[in-house]
């Protein structure tokens, strides 16, 4: 399955209800699973973003649905990046003209 990196910021609502964050993460994991996706890693981080998640999903359409579903809760704003592991990177580069 393709890999995706999600960079997220807590919204004002999300930070005001920060103690609910672990249960929100559990709900997000269930949403991922219900759509055939998986959160491989989750990190609370310092710096420009508050959260970094690494996940897998069957396709970009599923990721778009996940982003819209999770974003509609109002607790976080996110940016999702398609990630190519080293083997795929090498295949892409080898196919260049």
Residue for token digits 């981080």? 45
Banded model confidence at residue 77, pLDDT cuts 50, 70, 90: very high
CA 62 to chain centre: 11
Model confidence pTM above 0.85: yes
Contact residues for 43 (Cβ-Cβ < 8 A; gap 6+)? 51, 52, 53
Which domains occur in the chain, in start order?
A: 3-94 (3.30.70.920)
CA atoms within 13 A on the CB side of 45: 14
Q: Within 10 Å of residue 50's Cβ, how many Cβ atoms? A: 20
Asked if residues 50 and 9 have their Cβ atoms less than 8 Å apart, the reply is yes
- Residue 26 has φ and ψ, to the nearest 5°, of -60, -40
Query: Are the C-beta atoms of 75 and 13 separated by less than 8 Å?
Result: yes
Q: Read off the pLDDT of residues 78-89 as tens digits, 9 standing for 90 and up.
A: 999 999 999 999
């Amino acid at each position: 399955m393709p890999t995706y990196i999600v960079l997220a910021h807590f919204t004002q609502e999300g930070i005001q209800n920060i103690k609910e964050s672990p249960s929100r993460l559990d709900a997000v994991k269930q949403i991922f699973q219900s759509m055939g996706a998986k959160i491989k890693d989750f990190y609370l981080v310092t710096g420009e973003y508050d959260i970094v998640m690494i996940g897998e999903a069957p396709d970009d359409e599923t990721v778009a649905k996940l982003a819209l579903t999770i974003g509609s809760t109002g607790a976080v704003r996110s940016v999702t990046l398609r990630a190519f592991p080293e083997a795929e990177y090498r295949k892409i580069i080898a196919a260049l003209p």
